[in-house]
């Protein structure tokens, strides 16, 4: 056999592990051992896990790199491994039919990977791998060669803004905290990502934990903090495990502890597994939680940078924000600022889901249009149906209509359209999605996740949810739209924290852009997207019906009448709207409207 380098990279994010990623990796390793390949090539043949690369619908993804030539396989199961090993690795003949195709290229081609650059490339559990890629050089530089003022200046010039959603300039935040005189200061990493469908922070923590820690180290140095906390949802078991491992490795190598890099500066970072309520991600609630109290937001009488954790100056940054920091120091603020728009530098990771062909984690530069994301990276709509709307920023974000397809994805443009960047959720809706039902879905989450402290959020959201529920159940009343608008703007105006201020957004934006659909639900008792079950009617198209009786057989409530070979009828009083007849009919004779 020729001399060659063999690297096998198996995706091992949570998505991949549940698809059998661990078994796939084991299969490669045992084959390498049993065929003698490992013995022959020694350290020139490696098989290791890598972080999630975002395209989880195609897991398990496997890269086989021979002499630098990379072939990616998708949807790999452990029993497919022997053939890949035999044909590709031993004989040098890639298995064409399992190779990742056009979709994979399309998905990755339009992305700019900065934060996610290590995910899919590097073993997240190996400090050596991180060091080999230049890891902790930025931290070393920050501790040894730069003054705190220089670090803050660099971050300010990079135009990095908080990726948690509100978009506060990170450099400014650090500057406030740095200016404070205090015996103790804290740096906190907010990893309480709770938006349904959003998994960007999870992916970073699982796939590149050392970047987060390095970002925290640089932040701690810049503001003069000696203690840091990584606040991660306990339900992110893999993230908790890998961050814990990474912290241990750092302590062993002296990157954390006393006298870091011989700079005379002490720093310890601890992991705080969070109870995992949605509201724990709110800065003041998060601090309460670390202090051991119930996570309820407090009124913001002071900046967190002035009086935060235990009343001390504290910087709370999102996972993604912190993971950007080592890259900025490594490659320079100008390069980073050049990637994004004038006001917000760099990229943002979005969780693209819904009715698009390619779903997954996408990293795009600030200022890209929604159209580019949906039709470029997303590969267009499923079955080429018409685009209807896009919910941005998770359950407290807003829903935008087709008119906004060409608007840019940055903090200002999105705020102008009435939504937020949020944690980067993008749920694409097509003509088969009901707007009212979507709004109800998001309100169902937020009303249950309200901490219950302030009146408008605790009761107002619940009442909005009840009104939406009644509309989708066909009991909408005249004036309900106005009542929703009134209550929504009331909650926005009077709530205590950012959660309440943004939670009515899905309803308010959908009413703003899709008012007609609400009106049809209430006045005509119809759901144009045919989603709201209680608003549907099933009837028989007499011309098409052959009287085959199939529908009669499947109907669970005996609502269908008729004699054989004669057109049938559906009794509306008995119909339970299950849709069985619609699915069963072979002659398109059942009309659903």
Partner 1 sequence: MVTLNIDGQDITVDRSYTLLDAVREMGITIPTLCHHPDLSLFGGCRLCLVEVSGMRRPAASCVTPVQEGMVVQSSTPYLERLRKTNVELLLSDHPNDCMLCERAGNCKLQELAYYYGLRENRFEGDRRIYSRKDNNPFLQREMEKCVMCGQCVRICDEIQGVGAIDFAYKGLWTKVTPPFERDLDCEFCGQCVGVCPTGALTGRIWAGKGRQKFREVDTVCSYCGCGCILTLAVKKNQIARIYSRKDTINEGMLCAKGRFAYEFVNSPERLTRPLIRTAPKKDWQLNDSGRYAQVKPERSSTNSSGVFREVSWEEALDHIAFRIKEIKDVHGADAIGGLASARCTNEENYLFQKFMRAAVGTNNVDHCARY
Residues of this chain that interact with partner 1 (CB under 8 A) are 277, 279, 294, 296, 298-299, 301, 447-456, 458-463, 466, 483, 486-487, 490, 492-496, 501
Of 20 and 196, the one with the shorter C-beta distance to partner 1 is: 196
Strands (E), 333-376: 347-354, 360-365
Shortest Å, Cβ 296 to partner 1: 7
How far is residue 369's CA from residue 345's CA, in Å, rounded to a whole number? 15
Of 123 and 282, the one with the shorter C-beta distance to partner 1 is: 282
Cis status of the peptide bond prior to 130, with omega within 30 of 0: no
Of 454 and 471, the one with the shorter C-beta distance to partner 1 is: 454
Shortest Å, Cβ 172 to partner 1: 19
Cβ-Cβ contacts under 8 Å for 97 (sequence gap 6 or more): none
Of 27 and 295, the one with the shorter C-beta distance to partner 1 is: 295
Shortest Å, Cβ 482 to partner 1: 10
3-state secondary structure of 96: helix
Of 491 and 570, the one with the shorter C-beta distance to partner 1 is: 491
Shortest Å, Cβ 444 to partner 1: 10
Q: Which one-letter DSSP state was computed for residue 99?
A: B
Shortest Å, Cβ 503 to partner 1: 11
Q: What are phi and psi of 448, to 5 degrees?
A: -80, -25
3-state secondary structure of 287: helix
Give the pairing of strands 45-50 and 62-66.
Answer: unpaired
How far is residue 206's CA from residue 371's CA, in Å, rounded to a whole number? 30
Closest C-alpha to 422, from 123, 195, 220: 195
Of 483 and 584, the one with the shorter C-beta distance to partner 1 is: 483
Of 454 and 585, the one with the shorter C-beta distance to partner 1 is: 454
Give me Rg for the CA atoms of the chain. 27
Tokens of 566: 């004669």
Closest C-alpha to 280, from 296, 258, 302: 296
Q: What are phi and psi of 46, to 5 degrees?
A: -130, 145
Give the pairing of strands 590-592 and 538-540.
Answer: antiparallel
Of 269 and 439, the one with the shorter C-beta distance to partner 1 is: 439
Q: Which helix (H) or strand (E) holds 215?
A: helix 209-223
Tokens of 69: 């030539």
563, burial (CB in 10 Å: exposed 0-12, middle 13-18, buried 19+): exposed
3-state secondary structure 485-534: HHHHHHHHHHCCCHHHHHCCHHHHHHHHHHHHHHHHHHHHCCCCCCCCHH
How far is residue 273's CA from residue 280's CA, in Å, rounded to a whole number? 11
Of 27 and 468, the one with the shorter C-beta distance to partner 1 is: 468
Of 82 and 479, the one with the shorter C-beta distance to partner 1 is: 479
Shortest Å, Cβ 502 to partner 1: 12
Closest C-alpha to 188, from 317, 30, 9, 42: 317
């Amino acid at each position: 056999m020729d001399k060659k380098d063999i690297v096998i990279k198996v995706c091992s994010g949570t998505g991949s592990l549940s698809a059998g990623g661990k078994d796939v990796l084991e299969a490669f390793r045992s084959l390498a051992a049993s065929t003698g390949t490992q013995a022959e090539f020694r350290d020139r043949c490696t098989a290791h896990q890598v972080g999630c690369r975002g395209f989880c619908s195609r897991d398990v993804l496997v890269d086989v790199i021979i002499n630098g030539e990379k072939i990616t396989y998708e949807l790999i199961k452990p029993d497919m491994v022997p053939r890949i090993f035999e044909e590709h690795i031993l004989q040098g003949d890639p298995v064409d039919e399992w190779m990742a195709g056009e979709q994979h290229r399309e998905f990755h081609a339009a992305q700019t990977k900065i934060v996610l650059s290590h995910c899919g490339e590097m073993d997240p559990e190996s400090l050596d791998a991180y060091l080999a890629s230049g890891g902790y050089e930025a931290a070393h530089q920050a501790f040894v060669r730069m003054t705190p003022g220089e670090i803050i200046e660099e971050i300010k010039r990079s135009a990095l803004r908080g990726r948690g959603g509100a978009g506060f300039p990170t450099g400014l935040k650090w500057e406030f905290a740095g200016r404070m005189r205090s015996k103790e200061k804290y740096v906190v990493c907010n990893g309480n990502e709770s938006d349904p469908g959003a998994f960007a922070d999870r992916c970073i923590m699982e796939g590149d934990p050392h970047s987060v820690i390095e970002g925290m180290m640089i932040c701690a140095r810049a503001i003069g903090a000696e203690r840091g906390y990584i606040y991660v949802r306990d339900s992110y078991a893999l993230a908790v495990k890998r961050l814990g491992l990474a912290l241990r490795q750092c302590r062993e190598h002296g990157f954390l502890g006393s006298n870091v890099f011989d700079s005379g500066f002490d720093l310890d970072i601890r992991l705080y597994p969070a109870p995992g309520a949605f509201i724990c991600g709110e800065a003041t609630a998060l601090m309460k939680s670390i202090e051991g109290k119930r996570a309820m937001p407090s009124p913001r009488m002071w900046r967190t940078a002035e009086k935060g954790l235990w009343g001390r100056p504290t910087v709370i940054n999102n996972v993604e924000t912190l993971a950007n920091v080592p890259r900025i120091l490594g490659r320079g603020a100008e390069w980073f600022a050049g990637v994004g728009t004038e006001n917000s530098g760099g990229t943002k990771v979005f969780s693209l889901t819904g009715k698009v062909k390619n779903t997954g984690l996408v990293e795009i530069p600030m200022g890209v249009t929604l159209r580019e994301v949906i039709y470029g990276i997303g590969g267009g709509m499923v079955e080429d149906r018409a685009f209807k709307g896009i919910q941005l920023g998770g359950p407290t974000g807003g829903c935008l209509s087709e008119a906004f397809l060409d608007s840019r994805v940055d903090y200002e443009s999105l705020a102008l359209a009435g939504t937020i960047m949020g944690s980067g959720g993008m749920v694409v809706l097509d003509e088969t999605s009901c707007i009212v039902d979507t709004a109800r879905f998001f309100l169902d989450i937020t009303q249950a996740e309200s901490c219950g402290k302030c009146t408008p959020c605790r009761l107002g959201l619940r009442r909005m949810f009840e009104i939406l529920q009644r509309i989708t159940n066909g009991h909408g009343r005249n004036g309900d739209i106005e009542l929703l608008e009134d209550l929504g703007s009331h909650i926005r105006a009077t709530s205590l924290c950012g959660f309440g201020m943004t939670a009515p957004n899905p309803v308010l934006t959908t009413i703003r852009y899709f008012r007609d659909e609400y009106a049809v639900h209430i006045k005509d008792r119809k759901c144009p997207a045919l989603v709201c079950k209680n608003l549907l009617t099933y009837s028989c198209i007499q011309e098409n019906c052959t009287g085959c009786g199939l529908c009669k057989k499947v109907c669970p409530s005996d609502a269908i009448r008729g004699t054989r070979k004669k057109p049938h009828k559906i009794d509306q009083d008995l119909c339970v709207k299950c849709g069985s007849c619609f699915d069963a009919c072979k002659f398109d004779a059942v009309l659903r409207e």
